[in-house]
Amino acid sequence: MKYGVVLVTYNRLELLKECVEHCMQQTVPFEKIIVVDNCSTDGTDVYLQQFEADPHFLISKQSENLGGAGGFRVGLSLAEKEDLDWVLIIDDDAMIAPDYIQKCDRVIRQYPNFVACSGTVYTDGKIQTSHRRVIANHLLHLERNVSLSAYERKCFRYDLATFCGLMVRTDMLTKVGLPKSEYFIWYDDTEYSMRLRKYGGIVNINAAHLNHKTVLPSGRQEGFFARMNWRTYYGHRNRLDAVKTHCSPWTEAVIIAEFLVFIACAYGMQFLPGKRKQGRYIAQMLREALRDGYKGTLGKNEKYSPN
C-alpha cells in the first residue's frame, strides 16, 4: 500500500516545520509529501527549498492565497498523478502521531471497501469531536458531532469529516472529483464528504491520533452572533451551495428560512445598547451570503478576506 500526504500551509512557518517533521517520522513512510504553499510571506519558501531535490517531496508554490479549498484542490490534483493508493489531507497545524499511517493501514487492509478514513483529533489533550459528524436529520440537514463514547470503540462510521487528518482512496479523486476551490475556506471538506459518501463509508480509526495545534475558544462565550466574523460569510454561503447541490428542494427551503431568521435577529441586535455596528455588519454579511449562495456566486470575496 502506497501512501501520500497533501499539506497546505500559509504563513505559519514554525508550525509547518513541526508538521513536516511529523510526516517524515512515520513508521509507515509516505511515498510522497506534497506541500502546497499558499503564497506565504514569512520565509516558508526559503525553508521549502531544501526539499525540492528530494524525490519524496513535491513542493507547489502558489502566486496568491487560494484559501484552504484552493490549496487542497491543487495538492490533490498533484496526488492524483502520483502512484499512490491513499492520500492524507492536513493543514500545517495538524501533527500526526508517528504511527498514524500504521494504525490506519491495519484497518484499511481489513476493510478495503471504505472510501475514506481518519484518525482522532486532539487539542490540548482533549478529543475534538467537531471534526467527525453525522447528519442527524436529513430534511433539515442537521449535523451532530459523533459522541465521545464512540471513541471508546476500535472505530466508527460517520458522514461528514473535516480535512484535519482525513485520508482518501486515490481512485476516489477521479470518481468524485476534487474539492471546490471556489469555496475558498470553510465547508469545502464537508461538501467533499457528501460526495464521498455516495460511493462508500467513511471510518474513524480511533487509535490513530493527531494533535491539532489550534487555539480553542476560552473564557465566557457571548453567544452565537458574537462568534461571527468574516469567515462566517463563507461558511453560510458554501453550506447553502452544498445543500442546493446534494439535498432536496425541501432542505434548501429550510436552510433559506434559517438564513432569514438569522438576518432578522441581526437586525434586532441594532436596537441593543452598543450592538448597532455589529448587528448591521452581521445582517449585511448574512444577506450577501444568502444571495451569493443562492445564485451560486462563489470564489473569494474581497469584502470578506483575511488580507
Q: What is the mean pLDDT of the chain?
A: 92
Q: pLDDT value at position 226?
A: 62
Residue range 139-155: average pLDDT?
93
* pLDDT at residue 18 tops 70: yes
* pLDDT at residue 164 tops 90: yes
Q: pLDDT value at position 288?
A: 95
* pLDDT at residue 122 tops 60: yes
Q: pLDDT value at position 216?
A: 64
Q: pLDDT value at position 269?
A: 80
Q: pLDDT value at position 218?
A: 53
Q: pLDDT value at position 276?
A: 83
Q: pLDDT value at position 222?
A: 56
- Confidence band for 128, pLDDT divided at 50, 70 and 90: very high
DSSP string, the chain: --EEEEEEESS-HHHHHHHHHHHHT-SS--SEEEEEE-S--SSHHHHHGGGTT-TTEEEEE-SS--HHHHHHHHHHHHHHTSS-SEEEEEETTEEE-TTHHHHHHHHHHH-TT-SEEEEEEEETTEE-GGGEEEEEETTTTEEEEPPGGGGGSSEEEESEE-SSSEEEETHHHHHH----GGG-SSSHHHHHHHHHTTTS-EEEEEEEEEEE--PPP-S----TGGG--HHHHHHHHHHHHHHHHHS-HHHHHHHHHHHHHHHHHHHHHTTSTT-HHHHHHHHHHHHHHHHHHHHT--S--TTS---
Q: pLDDT value at position 225?
A: 62
- Looking at domain 3-212, does it have CATH number 3.20.20.70? no
**171-219 per-position pLDDT tens digit:** 999 999 999 999 999 999 999 999 999 999 999 999 999 999 987 655 4
**38-67 per-position pLDDT tens digit:** 999 999 999 999 999 999 999 999 999 999
Read off the pTM: 0.91
- Confidence band for 33, pLDDT divided at 50, 70 and 90: very high
Residue range 297-303: average pLDDT?
92
**266-289 per-position pLDDT tens digit:** 888 878 887 788 888 899 999 999
* pLDDT at residue 19 tops 90: yes
**78-110 per-position pLDDT tens digit:** 999 999 999 999 999 999 999 999 999 999 999
**227-263 per-position pLDDT tens digit:** 778 889 999 999 999 999 999 999 999 999 999 999 9
